[in-house]
Structure formats: structure tokens, C-alpha cells
Amino acid sequence: MATMTVVLGLQGCTSVSYLAQSLNGHLEMISSLQPVEKLVGDPSNSPKFRQQMARAIEIRRFATDVLALPDNGSYLSYVDTHRDFVTWAVFATPELSLEPRTWCFPVFGCVPYRGYFSRVAAEKYATDIRQQGMDAYVGGVTAYSTLGWFRDPLVNTMLRYGETYIAALVFHELSHQRVYVRDDTAFNEAFAVAVENSGMTKWLKHSGDLAASQKYQADQDREKDFLSLVSQTREALIAVYGGSDGDGEKRAAKAAAIENLRVRYRRLRDGRWNGYHGYDGWFEEPINNAKLAATAIYNDLVPAFSRLLAICSGDHEAFYRAVERIGALKKDDRLQALRGAKQCA
């Protein structure tokens, strides 16, 4: 599946307790930073880990030299969190709507999630939301960004799926440092995914690893199929929620649409995917509006950004300038300009 990243509101205004957990979690992270170069040369580390760190240095250099991403101290240090995810994100929507709830922060603007360094705290907040009659979804996050305010580190969760995954996350996270538009997470995340995808194509060509390139393309093809399934279900639910039926009928139609999504997934998995089970966990866990909305936030505008990058002839620096120009527009004009772009300048 696509990487999920969360911008943490380290100066959040929602509550003192939320601010405290964000600050404490981040300070705990940076208190145990280790330089990547030092880890490469430390013989007490395993050969596999040292190789991963060495490749991470190459990936970081490639991000700046080829993709024109920021040249700073981010991803040149490493932290082992000793857990499966670095943070957990809580998404929320009304029971009969796909419109995500947002939370606002002075520096980072409004975003459709709250990030927690503790899974227990994230689940507790999600429970509070559900008790208000809303849908909630808690997603584990493998990387987070402070948008360059701090030197964001590599974390052990980024190493989970090997070199390709490390490169994808580094390209994605550095993209947030290159362009970030306040109060428009869908714009920011889709931009970062587009840079990530383009960067991975170039990186894999550069590395000359044919097997990794073929695997990445197969993963991308399955990701497109998955997103198509989810998009079709969201469109069906939008029609249901906008209809004239009562809430009871809408709840029944919602349950039927979600079950149909699972049926179509199993048909895809056992057919065209030849039994690939990588998405089983997503479908086996509860599915609701918040989970569907979270998927849309990260992916709906990716084709528009990829198209703009192609118009810019794959020139990342020119692409960033075009995105910055579009990002400076008012939100409605921004979306129209992105989708209707005919030239890079």
C-alpha cells in the first residue's frame, strides 16, 4: 500500500495534554539520534543493517542531486523506536458522510487527523470520537515529518520492507519540506506521492536492480487496483448519503456497500492478483467512512500531479515551481488550476 505520513502539530492548540504528548514524543525521538555514517562504520552492527544505512546515505544524496529535494540534515540520523509504528493517526468522519473532521495548529494549519506517539492514546481518542456517534479510524504510521523545523530522522519502521521502501519514504517526506500548503492535506499528500513515484522510477533505473524494479511496478499496479475499488465504494456511498432515504436505510446501504467492497476485493485477489494477500489485513479489519476518507486524502489528486510533472518534462525543479504557484491560489482555484494545467510555467 501507499506510504502514510503524518505531519505532527508540535505547537497544537487543541489541548495541553495533546501538546504535551506531541512534544514529549518528539523529544524522546531526537534524544537518541545516531549519525547514519557512524552506524555504517560500526562493526558491532549487523552487516544487513550497515548495508541499509549505507544505501540510505546514497538515497539521501540522490534525493538532492537528482530530485532537487532539500539539502539539509534530515534523514542523515537514525532512531530505533523499538515499536512497529513511529506514530498513530486518528481520522474521523460523521457516521453518514465521507467529509473528514479537521484539527488546526498554528504553524502547520488544519489537517484531517491527530497524530499520537502512543497507540493507547490514539485508540482512547478514537473511542471518544465513536462515543460521539462518529466513525473513527486509527492507522499506524511508518514515518512523520516536521516540515524541516527539525532534522527528521530515519526510524526503524522505515526499514521494514527493504531498500525500496526506505527510498520511497525519504522522497515522500522530503517533498513535504520542499512544498507545503497550509490547510490542504489532500494537495500536500498527493504532491508528495507523485514525487515519490517519479523518484522511485528514477532511483530504480539508477540502481539497475531489475528484480526490485519489477516488484515495485507490480506493487504499483496492485495499488491502483486497490484505490479503484475504494474509489468506486466512496462514489456509491456519496450517492447514498446525498439521497432522500432515512438514516436507517442509509445505514443499511452503507453496510451493503462495504460488504460489496470486500466481495470485489476477494474476487480481484483470487483472480487477477493470483492469490496475492498483501491487502488482506486492510479488508479484514473494520471499514468505515473514516478509513475510506483517509485513503482518499492521500491519493485522489496523484494523477493530476503526475500529469503536471509530465508537462514539466520530468524536470523536478520546474515542477516544484509550478506547484508552488498553484499552491498560492485560493483552494477552489488551486484545484481547478492543477487539473486544468496545460503548461509548466
pLDDT band, residue 17 (cuts 50/70/90): low
Q: How far from 45 is each of 29, 36, 39, 79, CA to CA, in Å?
A: 20, 12, 7, 14
What are the residues facing 78 on neighbouring strands? 34, 154
In sequence order, which residues have a C-beta less than 8 Å from that of residue 316 and are 6 or more positions away? 66, 67, 68, 69, 195, 198, 309
Domain segments of the chain as ranges = 5-185
Residue 144 CA to residue 38 CA, distance in Å, equals: 23
pLDDT at position 148 is: 78
pLDDT at position 96 is: 98
Residue 127 CA to residue 134 CA, distance in Å, equals: 10
pLDDT exceeds cutoff 80 at 83: yes
Q: Which of 108-112, 120-124, 160-164 has the highest mean pLDDT?
A: 120-124
Is residue 327 within 8 A of residue 334, CB to CB? The reply is yes
In sequence order, which residues have a C-beta less than 8 Å from that of residue 47 and are 6 or more positions away? none
Is residue 168 within 8 A of residue 4, CB to CB? The reply is no
Q: What is the DSSP track for 168-184?
A: HHHHHHHHHHH---TT-
pLDDT exceeds cutoff 60 at 11: no
- The string of pLDDT tens digits covering residues 51-68 is 999 999 999 999 999 999
Residue 230 CA to residue 222 CA, distance in Å, equals: 12
Using DSSP's 3-state secondary structure scheme, residue 343 falls into coil
pLDDT band, residue 108 (cuts 50/70/90): confident
Quote the percentage of the chain above a pLDDT of 90: 77
For β-strands 103-105 and 109-111, DSSP reports them as: antiparallel
C-alpha cell at 262: 470486500
Place of cell 504535551: 20
pLDDT band, residue 158 (cuts 50/70/90): very high
- The string of pLDDT tens digits covering residues 263-320 is 999 999 999 999 999 999 999 999 999 999 998 888 889 999 999 999 999 999 999 9
Using DSSP's 3-state secondary structure scheme, residue 89 falls into strand
What are the residues facing 140 on neighbouring strands? 88
Would the pTM of this model clear 0.85, i.e. be above it?
yes
